[in-house]
Structures are given as C-alpha cells and as structure tokens.
C-alpha cells in the first residue's frame, strides 16, 4: 500500500484482528481511525474503517439488546472464566470482593446473590475472570445456573468449613451437577479458616475428599492463602504463558500470550498475528531467562509455561 501507515496504526490493526469481543473490536477500530494518515491516498481505507466501525457498533448494540443474549450470559474475558459454586453463605461473594474489583453484595443471610457477577482477578501477569453465582441448595437453585456452569472454563466449589451441614452441602452440589450432567469442580476452597477450630475442620474435609477434590484452605475475609488459591485457579485452567522476543529486540515479560496446555509453536505464532504462522520459517526456543542459546524448534513443538519464543519469518525485501 502506498500510504505510509504508522506503527500506531499497524498496532491498532493487529489488535483489531485479534479482538475477541465487540468492545475490543470497536476500541481497535477507533484507534485505527484516529491514527490513519488523512490524505487522498487513504480515503478508501478511511471509508472502510468507518464502515467496519459502524457495523461493529451495530452488532454490539444488538448483542446488548433485550432478547439477543440472556441476562445470565457472562462474556468471557481474560485468560479463562472460573465459576464459583457452592451452598448459601459459604463466602463466594466475599471471595470475589477480595480478589477482584467487582462488588457483589455480601451478607449473612442466604440468597443475597441473584445474578451472576463477573470480576477480573490477577494472577502474576495474567487476568482470570471469576464469576460469582447464586447458591446451589435444596431450597432453591436458579434454573439458569447450569448454563453459566457449562459456559465457564472451570468451576470451584466454595464451602464454609465450619458449617455443620458442610458434608451434606458438598454432596448436594455434587448430586445436582451430576444430574444436570455438568462438569464437576476439581478444586474445593475451604473458606472461613480464620475462625477458631476451622483448621481442624479443613483437615478433616481434605482427608475425606482426598482423590476427589484438590483442597485449598482460605479465608476470603482475612485474605489467608488467597495467593495460593489464585495459583490453583491458574493451574486448573491448564494454561501456559509464552513470551515472544523479536530477533535482536528486548524481551517483554509483562505481556505473555496465554494458550491452553498442549498448544504448539504454530498456535503461539498465530496469536501474535493471523498471517504470522504461515510466514514463519522457524522459531527458536529459550526456556527460562539467562539461557543464551536458543534451540531451533518445529511448528508442532508443544510449548510450556514460561517459554520464550523467537519467531523468524521470511522477508520479501
């Protein structure tokens, strides 16, 4: 193209191509429009961006409409969506308050939470989306809850380890999920371990459910072990972080590409740019910082968490 497109424009265009949501698409298109050089040679391009922008705004509007998307649908954001499940009053909402900027209502009476409430949690350099939900209980369970569970990438069972009914509660949740053919959570968060006697209760639960759940003792109120809980969620999502280093340039460890476990060098390249994967001739892999020699790897090579990749592409100059 004849027009001299600025790096800012090209970056915005890359964001547009990798945008996952309408909001991201609109934001990227707005940046493209503001950074495109304004002259005769780019008139067609400007018109094209404006057309795509109005189309994206229209779609976003339709999606936000009353009938297009059900009220309980939570659009995924970040590296993965984890739904918090459990009986009433176990501290699910408190946990979302402790780990995210979201502020679902916390109260000592049941059924305070009536709607799924999302919030973004930070674990090291990745964002994980938590979804607070109404309780699963014999008294009442919201009929739409199964959809929310199915839509999530993973679930966590949050219980109050001091509740005398905790064993029945765990069994009830399990039966409900079983009957709905819903995925069973693999992680059990034993909450309220700040209270006296809670540690023993937690240990008993852990022994009882060894093999069925991975158990983490936490306190949403005091913040105890919440960093361990965040790590457990990252592991639950089976994610790997890959860093890319343009040849001869500095490595940026703040912005990983987050992929599912089992992803390959080719998948990582595709995340950098849609066309990138095809033009790549080879990649070098650096495992852990400080290593100077980069191993040459194939496209099909499976990446691991913390891998650093240097992509080499064909140039046509």
Ligand X SMILES: Nc1nc2c(ncn2[C@@H]2O[C@H](COP(=O)(O)OP(=O)(O)O)[C@@H](O)[C@H]2O)c(=O)[nH]1
The residue ranges that bind ligand X (CB under 6 A) are 86, 88-94, 106-108, 112-113, 135, 191-192, 194-195, 219-221
The minimum distance between CB 80 and ligand X, in angstroms, equals 21
The answer for residues whose C-beta is within 8 angstroms of residue 4's C-beta and 6 or more apart is 37
Burial of 158 (0-12, 13-18, 19+ CB in 10 A): buried
DSSP state of 248: T
Residue 94 makes contact with Mg ion by CB under 5 A = no
How is residue 121 written in tokens? 């949690």
Residue 93 makes contact with Mg ion by CB under 5 A = yes
- Which of 136, 148, 130, 151 has the alpha carbon at shortest distance from 82? 130
Using CB distances below 5 to 8 A depending on partner kind, what does residue 90 bind out of ligand X, Mg ion, none? ligand X
Edge-to-edge strand list for the sheet holding 280-287: 257-260, 239-244, 307-313, 280-287, 295-297
The minimum distance between CB 62 and ligand X, in angstroms, equals 33
Stretch that binds Mg ion, among 113-121, 243-251, 266-274, 301-309 (CB under 5 A): 113-121
Distance CA 201, CA 308 (A): 43
| Single residue of 42, 90, 100, 113 touching Mg ion by CB under 5 A | 113
Comparing CB distances to ligand X, the nearer of 12 and 198 is: 198
Comparing CB distances to ligand X, the nearer of 94 and 244 is: 94
The minimum distance between CB 177 and ligand X, in angstroms, equals 17
3-state helix, strand, coil in the chain (%, to 5): 35, 20, 45
Using CB distances below 5 to 8 A depending on partner kind, what does residue 194 bind out of Mg ion, ligand X, none? ligand X
Using CB distances below 5 to 8 A depending on partner kind, what does residue 293 bind out of ligand X, Mg ion, none? none
Comparing CB distances to ligand X, the nearer of 35 and 112 is: 112
Comparing CB distances to ligand X, the nearer of 78 and 88 is: 88
Distance CA 264, CA 276 (A): 14
Interaction mask 40-79, Mg ion, x per CB under 5 A? ----------------------------------------
Query: Between β-strands 280-287 and 295-297, what pairing exists: parallel, antiparallel or unpaired?
Result: antiparallel
The minimum distance between CB 233 and ligand X, in angstroms, equals 17
CA angle 274, 278, 282 (to 5 degrees): 120
The minimum distance between CB 93 and ligand X, in angstroms, equals 3
The minimum distance between CB 110 and Mg ion, in angstroms, equals 9
Comparing CB distances to Mg ion, the nearer of 106 and 126 is: 106
Using CB distances below 5 to 8 A depending on partner kind, what does residue 155 bind out of Mg ion, ligand X, none? none
Comparing CB distances to ligand X, the nearer of 93 and 129 is: 93
Q: What is the dihedral of CA 41, 43, 44, 50, to 10 degrees?
A: 150
Distance CA 241, CA 253 (A): 10
Residue that has been written with the tokens 């004849």 in this structure: 2
The minimum distance between CB 75 and Mg ion, in angstroms, equals 21
Using CB distances below 5 to 8 A depending on partner kind, what does residue 89 bind out of Mg ion, ligand X, none? ligand X
8 A C-beta contact, residue 262 and residue 131:
no
Point out which residues bind Mg ion (CB under 5 A): 93, 112-113
């Amino acid at each position: 193209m004849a027009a001299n497109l600025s790096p800012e424009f090209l970056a915005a265009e890359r964001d547009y191509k990798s945008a996952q949501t309408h909001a991201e698409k609109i934001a990227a298109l707005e940046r493209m429009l503001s950074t495109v050089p304004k002259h005769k040679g780019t008139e067609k391009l400007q018109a094209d961006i404006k057309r795509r922008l109005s189309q994206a705004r229209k779609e976003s509007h339709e999606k936000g409409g009353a009938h297009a998307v059900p009220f309980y649908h939570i659009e995924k954001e970040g590296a993965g969506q984890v739904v918090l499940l459990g009986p009433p009053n176990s501290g699910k909402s408190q946990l979302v308050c402790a780990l995210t900027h979201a502020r679902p209502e916390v109260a000592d009476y049941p059924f305070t939470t009536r709607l799924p409430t999302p919030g973004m949690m930070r674990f090291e350099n990745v964002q994980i989306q938590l979804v607070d939900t109404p309780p699963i209980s014999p008294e009442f369970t919201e009929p739409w809850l199964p959809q929310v569970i199915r839509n999530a990438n993973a679930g966590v069972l949050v219980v109050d380890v001091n509740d005398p009914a905790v064993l029945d509660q765990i069994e009830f949740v399990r039966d409900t999920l079983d009957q709905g053919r819903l995925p069973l959570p693999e992680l059990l968060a034993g909450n309220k371990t700040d209270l006296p006697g809670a540690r023993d209760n937690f240990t008993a639960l852990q022994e009882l459910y060894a093999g069925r759940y991975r158990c983490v003792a936490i306190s949403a109120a005091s913040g105890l072990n919440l960093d361990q809980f965040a790590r457990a969620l990252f592991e639950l999502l089976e994610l790997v972080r890959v860093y890319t280093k343009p040849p001869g340039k500095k490595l940026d460890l703040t912005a990983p590409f987050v992929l599912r476990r089992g992803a390959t060098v080719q998948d990582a390249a595709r995340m950098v740019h849609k066309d990138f994967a095809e033009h790549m001739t080879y990649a070098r892999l650096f495992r852990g910082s400080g290593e100077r020699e980069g191993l040459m790897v194939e496209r099909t090579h499976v990446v691991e968490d913390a891998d650093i990749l240097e992509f080499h592409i064909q140039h046509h100059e």
